[in-house]
Amino acid sequence: MINAGKLRHQVTFKRQTAVQDEDTGQRADTWTDLDTVRAEIIFLMGSEFISKSGEHSDMNVKFRCRYAPTLSDLNTRDKITFRDVDYDIGSVVNWRFRNKELIIMAKVSQSGD
């Protein structure tokens, strides 16, 4: 069980959905909020490196939060937003399959969407 005092950060889980413009009929992808919850955030490690395409940073983060039915199908195509920074989800674990706690491993998103 998660100690409630550790859930001091508010995070938003998002899913990419397709929306069709009524005027043009064009399809566009947009990020839709799934849920906003309180979470514990643990920064595990980070690194900076330079590649041919420029300077990059890599930050691994573990998010722990209470299970919610709205997050029951959370997956690696979804993302987390915390303090206006997007995190790509690497894995989602329903701790001990008890629907009490989720542990999500993520990295700072390198994409601009």
Is residue 113 a part of any domain in this protein?
Answer: no
Q: Is the dihedral of CA 31, 34, 39, 43 positive or negative?
A: negative
* 8 Å CB contact between 92 and 101: no
Which residue range(s) make up the domain with 74?
4-18+27-108
pLDDT for residue 30 is more than 50: yes
pLDDT for residue 93 is more than 70: yes
CATH number at 12 reads 2.40.10
pLDDT for residue 4 is more than 60: yes
> In the structure, what pLDDT confidence band is assigned to residue 23 with cuts at 50, 70 and 90?
confident
* 8 Å CB contact between 62 and 92: no
Q: What is the pLDDT of residues 34-78, one digit of tens each?
A: 999 999 999 887 655 444 555 555 789 999 999 999 999 999 999
Q: How far apart are CA 68 and CA 93, in angstroms?
A: 13
Total count of domains within the chain: 1
